Homo-oligomer: A and B are copies of this chain.
Amino acid sequence: MLLALTKTANFMAEPKANELMEKIVSLCKRRGFIFQSSEIYGGINGFWDYGPLGAELKRNVKDLWWTSMTRFREDVVGLEATIIMHPQIWKASGHVETFADMMSECPLTKKRVRTDQVDPQTGIAYFYTGAGSADGATSTETFSVLIAVGKPPESARKSAAQFYEMRGVKSPELQGERSEKIENTMLYHPESGVRLTEPRPFNLMFKTFVGPVESEENVAYLRPETAQAIFAQFKNIHETSRQKVPFGIAQVGKAFRNEVTPRNYTFRSREFEQMELEFFIKPDEAVEAIHGTVATVPSTGHPGEPQPNWGWQAWHQYWVEERVAFYEGIGLSRQTLGFHVQTPEELAHYARATVDILYKFPFSKKNEQGEMAGEELEGVAARSDFDLSQHERFSGKQMGVFDEELRAAWGKLDEEKKKDLWQRYHDARLKYLTKTGLNAEKAAKKAKEDADGLAKGQYIPHVIEPSAGVDRLILALLSNAYTEATETDDKGKTETRVILKFHPRVAPYKIGVMPLLKNKPDLVKKALEIRDTLRQHMNVFYDDGGSIGRRYARQDEAGTPFCVTVDFETFEGIKDGANAGEKDTVTIRHRDDGRQERIKVSELLGWLLPKVR
């Protein structure tokens, strides 16, 4: 008989949000899922390391994504590009110009804050119009500082004097002082009280220099997303991989954003990992030329197997549903997810549609109706032909493809259809070209060329981009798995313990293998044999220390879905029940409900494999 759990488990109601997050953070550290980076040096804000269990969890997630994207599909291939790329890529993508937060500075202390994240303050604001000095120096710069109600004006004057002295006005005589009570203002620095400078964009890309000289021409950036590498290598891959549009390129890798305020544990960090697919499709005009019409698909649900007559809408919906199916397949049910369809105002000018797939995190906020929308796990964007067009424009290299099917089909169209398709393609290109700042004449000339190209089978592919964050998915999986069980033992003692109910596919260890007693060589030998067989196929945790109950609890906390125990019945035969007398069986214990059953050792692998893959 096994020393099984004789306790009764009561699953608690969900703890409160922040309390729950604290518990998750604490468990992650205690069990080696996630540590603060550089912790022994006091940490570094916005950087997190994955310990032994976290590293395996993350590997499983990335492997499942990669395998589902590349191995199980004929129409997606992989790429592994560098983090540092040519800086021109980030000009083409728009990151150099627009990937920025607005920041304001305290002119006294030079400390910066994000303009939209200043805590509102109330107090007496003092204003000065300038200052003069005995030696004739003057400043007409205005200055303002907020001081607490009731505080003497001297403290304001001291700040002002400091400010004007920094501007070369010695022992300044302050001019034009006036004061005013201000409520809930976000215009003053929360520490110094000094009025902030006008907001200025602060680029979120980490900057470095390649080569020995720190000059402007050697500036490079750590990629803020993996996607651009895919666009930059599109032609090389298209030419070498025997893929034809529609096809995709998948990449997993680190990206970096110098967030001003990293927050929510690993959710918004400065170094993170992405899983991005760029799926290249024909423009709708090409599909229509080839197939007569573009397929219409129902606006909800999975549109089924890809069809040649799909336009961007069908492909977009297909990828949203494929991605949701992926999340469901690793344990995030549809109820735990949310969706946000970007409004026309939210969409980038080139985007046709974007659907964000959300997860309801413990820190997610509820709206006035008490509903929780969730936070973004992944965005699925229909980005038109913007990305490749930009790289064509900035690199001067052709990014279009030649489509024999289109060329052949075009010849058979009637003139009206040709004219219609030509015009629509022309207008879309013209819109893009005009947006780039090209003058009207040049834009018109190029749009005409592009539309003429379409008639010859040439176009720049459009793209659907499902872009997922690995770290936030890991956090979603941890939040989703986190369960507390309160158990009362025979003596009435109550204990709360944690069970991580990971889907077996993502669980760091798939199974714990244990000999009932570590001092019985037969049991140990058998358990090791089982371990050695199983670990050809999966991660196995071998544990021979402590009571079986303790060992089970330890695996519950690590999220291991199954444990097997080699006991005396393995050798002597099952004692009771339908299979009494049967030898070479082990106990399988289920993490989620503590249920135990016996299984033949020879059937173990076959029983496990479909569950963990």
Contacts and interface: CB of A to CB of B under 8 A. Distances in A.
Interface of A: 29-32, 35, 37-52, 54-56, 58-59, 66, 70-72, 74, 77-86, 88-89, 103, 110-112, 202, 206-213, 220, 222, 229, 232-233, 235-237, 240-242, 254, 256, 258, 260, 270-271, 391, 394-395, 397, 535-536, 539-540, 542, 545, 613
Contacts of A29: 236, 240
Given A88-B41, A208-B206, A82 B47 contact: yes
Contacts of A88: 38, 41
- Chain A, interface SS category: mixed
B43 A86 contact: yes
B240 A86 contact: no
A-B residue pairs, 7 tightest by C-beta: A38-B86, A32-B240, A52-B77, A41-B86, A40-B395, A55-B78, A50-B80
Given A58-B80, A84-B44, A103-B212, A89 B51 contact: no
A258 B55 contact: no
A32 B237 contact: yes
Contacts of A236: 29, 32, 35, 39, 51
A35 B391 CA distance: 17
Contacts of A31: 240
Given A44-B210, A208-B222, A55 B80 contact: yes
A40 B397 CA distance: 6
Nearest to A31: B240
A84 B206 CA distance: 11
Nearest to A397: B40
A578 B426 CA distance: 66
Nearest to A58: B80
A399 to B, nearest CB: 8
A42 B110 CA distance: 39
Q: Which of A55, A111, A391 has the most CB of B within 10 A?
A: A55
B210 A89 contact: no
A18 B545 CA distance: 58
Contact of A49 (B30, B81, B536): B81
A110 B540 CA distance: 59
Contacts of A50: 79-81
Contacts of A54: 80
Contact of A208 (B41, B71, B207, B535): B207
B112 A39 contact: no
Contacts of A30: 240
